[in-house]
Structure 1
Amino acid sequence: MPQCAKVLFVDDDQAVLDGVRRGLCRAYDVATALGPLEGLRVLSENGPFAVVVSDLRMPGMDGVTFLRKAKEIAPEAVPIMLTGHGDLTTAMAAVNEGHIFRFLTKPCPTPNLSRALDAALAHYRLAATEKELLRVTLENARLKEDVERIMRHDLKTPLSAIISLPQVLRMADNLDDEQRDMLALIEESGYLILSMVNLSTALYKMERDQYALEPTDVNLVPIIEKNFGFFADTAQNRDLTLALTADGAPIPPGGGFTVRGEELLCFSMLANLITNAVEASPRGGTVSVDLGREGGMARIAIANAGPVPECVRDCFFDKYATAGKPKGTGLGTYSAKRIAMAHGGDIAMETDGAGTRVTVRLPVA
């Protein structure tokens, strides 16, 4: 016996409705309505219904029109039509237009009607399950976003202590230079983590095209030099050369290269790209960052001698695209692309057997 769900039968012949109720009431939750107007009233007042079965030929309103109006009242209900043999052309047209789930000819034996009802109920339950799954998915996504926002907010409180305590400790008279440098490193790391927390909020808005850029003049040279400093030990251990140039020439001390953007976003973008270049570079290779101007835009080219694996070349900037990195998330190049686009710039990658070159273009200052 199929699981009961409400089924509405609409016909202008009371004898037909009485016969349907007698034949199906033990297996289904059956309601009847005499004529289309009564059917619309029952739908409105006694719903919801899983299935609506209507006769085609009824006075005042035919079955196609009735089922169309019923769909407005109960959009989830599955429509079935009962027709005479002479109405097959009309019924088939309604089915082809997507208004009717099934049509049955009159008189319809109870077993045939039951099979059609079972199919309609299965269709209704499947649609309801998919709708509920979508609702739960969206609710979970909203919950995840709320939790992430709360975490970002709550992280700032302990970070404030991490940043402020080294400032207080450095005021003591009994510290040597090495200890003061270590405190300065703790403070700088705290600021960096705080910047990353703030950056996650910015990237969240970028994904929804809701980020409002507040650009200023940003000198990229100290940003790149700071990133190179993070990899000084790695470069020494792997015999890597880290090179910063402008149009192929070394940048003189105190030199600069200014773009129009947000410093934190530029720092994050370049940190991700330089990290990728260092990790992909073979031992004894060179990781270079060359700065220049092309076509009214600033150009930042990050190159290394390691080729990008073929499996990720076509999706290099896609979310979660990664290969050959046990701890890789595939988000570094994706966020870099988002940041470049948020600045009104672009980003591109070229790779072959000789190595890889990622080029970022940003507005000039």
Structure 2
Amino acid sequence: MPQCAKILVVDDDPAVLDALRRSLGRCYDLETALGPEQGLAALADNGPFAVIISDLRMPGLSGVEFLRRAKALAPEAVALMLTGHGDLDAAMEAINEGHIFRFLTKPCPPPILSRSLDAALTQYRLAAADRDLLRVTLENARLKDDVERIMRHDLKTPLTTIISLPQVLRLAENLDDDQRDMLSLIEDAGYTVLAMVNLSTALFKMERDQYVLDPVAVDLVPIVAKIFAAHADTAENHGLALELAVGGRPAAPGKPFLVRGEELLCYSMLANLLANAVEASPDGGRVAVDMRQAGDMASIAIANQGAVPPSVRDRFFEKYATAGKTKGTGLGTYSARRIALAHGGDIAMATSEAGGTVVTVSLPRAL
């Protein structure tokens, strides 16, 4: 977009203004104002201006007060101050109080004033370029958010078809058991993708502190068991033991461990943390989950015998913090903590070379 190059000169001496018009008017887009009141009127009526030059000593309003008011009318303009030789203290006050870019002593030779004006115009253009870059960045971010929202919304229509068609086809009488199992796999996959779309929407709202939790009693035992089942092949290949305990004892069949939350979010949070634990555990090690109750809160400790790399220990829950994973995004622990915080809980991590890593989730109990 075109950038302003207009310059406003304010002085209470007509002779000074005439001299500046003669010396600078052919090289710059110059406008003059006789005194601070005319200067404020020019800013309001004839702006925008890139540079404002003001005398320090003027009747009615001082140059400092004039530039303070000018800043409200033209916040992006660069201000220069003209002072007498005896006004050094006042000039320093003007710099501190009026956000002055540069001050010049009177009488100021035209070459020095021209160089100062060129520097001020450069400063204005650099600031304008920064503002344009920020505006474009924000617009691109908003556009990205809009596209992602549209995609999340539009994905649900074909997913509904993917989920419903197996239900219809399963009614046919000429299907064998293998075919029915395949239809069930298709249906389960559709539900999984739909859950991922819904989860991404929830995380999007959490990022903006707009998510409204709808908590119910959630049993974490079958959730962890399902996640362990998903990692069974990896555990077998690497000789890993996957252990689930409640209160320090092996989880008893049919005995729930209830927290207050949303099942999909709890599943996603624990799936991310357990996937990290399995990947980080050395061959022949163990990944152990121990659930305990502590007052109104529940704790879920996830332990493995691998240590978090020193380079990411202080940034473990930060976005994009990852090390040693060729396909890692650094979003797993970040999103897990966002989910825990949305539930009114939190996640902490402790790690050492000797003791391995323990990630502890705290969530409200379902009382």
- Give the TM-score, by structure 2 length: 0.94
| 2-structure distance, mates of 1:235, 1:170 | 34
Task: Give the gaps of 5 or more residues in structure 2.
Answer: none
- Give the distance between the partners of 2:54 and 2:348, measured in 1 at CA: 60
What letter corresponds to residue 203 of structure 1 in structure 2? L
Tell me what 2:159 maps to.
159
Whether contact under 8 Å (1:290, 1:301) holds in the other structure is yes
User: CA offset at residue 307 of structure 1?
Assistant: 1.4
Does the residue aligned with 1:123 lie in a helix, a strand or coil? helix
Distance in structure 2 (CA, Å) of the matches to 1:15 and 1:26: 18
Q: Match for residue 89 of structure 2? A: 89
| 8 Å contact kept, 1:4–1:29 | no
Task: Report the Cα distance in structure 2 between the residues aligned to 1:260 and 1:7, rounded to whole angstroms.
Answer: 64
Which residue pairs with 1:49 in the alignment?
49
Give matches, 1:124-273, under 5 Å. 124-273=124-273
Alignment partner, residue 120 of structure 1: 120
- Aligned counterparts of 1:95 and 1:319: Cα–Cα separation in 2: 41
CA contact (8 A) 1:81 1:103 kept: yes
Residue deviations 1:97-147 (CA, integer Å, cap 9, x gap): 343222211111001111111111111111111111111111111111111
Closer/same/farther in 2, CA of residues 240 and 99 from structure 1, 3 Å limit: closer
Assess, with a 3 A threshold, how the Cα gap between structure 1 residues 243 and 176 changes in structure 2: closer, same or farther.
farther
Q: 1:319 to 1:250 in 2, by over 3 A?
A: same
Q: Deviations over 1:239-263 (max 9, x none)?
A: 2222222123222222211111111
Provide the C-alpha distance between the structure 2 equivalents of 1:166 and 1:225, rounded to a whole number of angstroms: 26
Residue identity in the other structure for 2:25: C
Contact 1:217 1:260 in 2 (8 A): yes
User: Conserved in 2, the CA contact under 8 Å of 1:53 and 1:79?
Assistant: yes
Q: Which moved more, 1:257-266 or 1:179-188?
A: 179-188
Whole-Å separation in 2 of the counterparts to 1:313 and 1:59: 63
C-alpha RMSD of the superposition: 1.6
Map Cα deviations across residues 134-182 of structure 1 (whole Å, 9 max, x no partner): 1111111111111110010011111111111111222222222232222
Aligned to 1:281: 281
1:103 aligned partner: 103
Q: Does 1:6 align with 2:18?
A: no
Q: Which moved more, 1:84-93 or 1:21-30?
A: 84-93
Once residues 298 and 94 of structure 1 are traced to their aligned partners in structure 2, the CA distance between those partners, rounded to angstroms, is 60
Give secondary structure in 1 for the equivalent of 2:87.
helix
2-structure distance, mates of 1:268, 1:358:
15
Residues 69-114 of structure 1 deviation map (CA, whole Å, 9 limit, x = unaligned): 2212111111111122222221222113343222211111001111
How far does residue 60 in structure 1 lie from its aligned partner after superposition? Answer: 2.5
Letter in 2 for 1:241: A
SS of equivalent to 2:137 = helix
The whole-number CA distance in structure 2 between the counterparts of 1:246 and 1:102 is 70
Q: Distance in 2 between matches of 1:256 and 1:64?
A: 72
CA distance in 1, matches of 2:110, 2:200: 62
- 1:183 and 1:215 map into 2 onto residues whose CA distance is 32
SS of the residue corresponding to residue 206 of structure 1 reads helix
Structure 1: which 5+ runs fail to align? none
252-261 vs 232-241, greater mean Cα deviation: 232-241
Q: Which amino acid aligns with 2:14?
A: Q
Count of residue correspondences: 363
The one-letter amino acid of 2:41's match is R
Q: CA deviation at 1:4?
A: 8.2
Distance 1:21 1:149 in 2: 56
C-alpha distance in structure 1 between counterparts of 2:59 and 2:29, whole Å = 26
Local SS of the residue matching 2:67:
helix
- Partner of 1:89: helix, strand, or coil? helix
Report the Cα distance in structure 2 between the residues aligned to 1:269 and 1:344, rounded to whole angstroms: 14
SS of the residue aligned with 1:103?
Answer: strand
**Identical pairs, percent:** 71
Moved more, 106-115 or 53-62: 53-62
Supply the distance in 1 between the matched residues of 2:96 and 2:320 (Cα, whole angstroms).
42
CA–CA distance in structure 2, aligned partners of residues 69 and 97 of structure 1: 11
Distance 2:282 2:60 in 1: 82
Give the 4+ runs in structure 1 shifted more than 6 A: none
Question: What amino acid does structure 2 have at the position aligned with 1:345?
Answer: G
Checking the alignment, whether the CA contact within 8 Å between 1:277 and 1:287 is kept in structure 2 is yes
The aligned residue for residue 18 of structure 2 is 18
More off after superposition, 122-131 vs 58-67? 58-67
Deviation at 1:53, TM superposition (A): 0.8
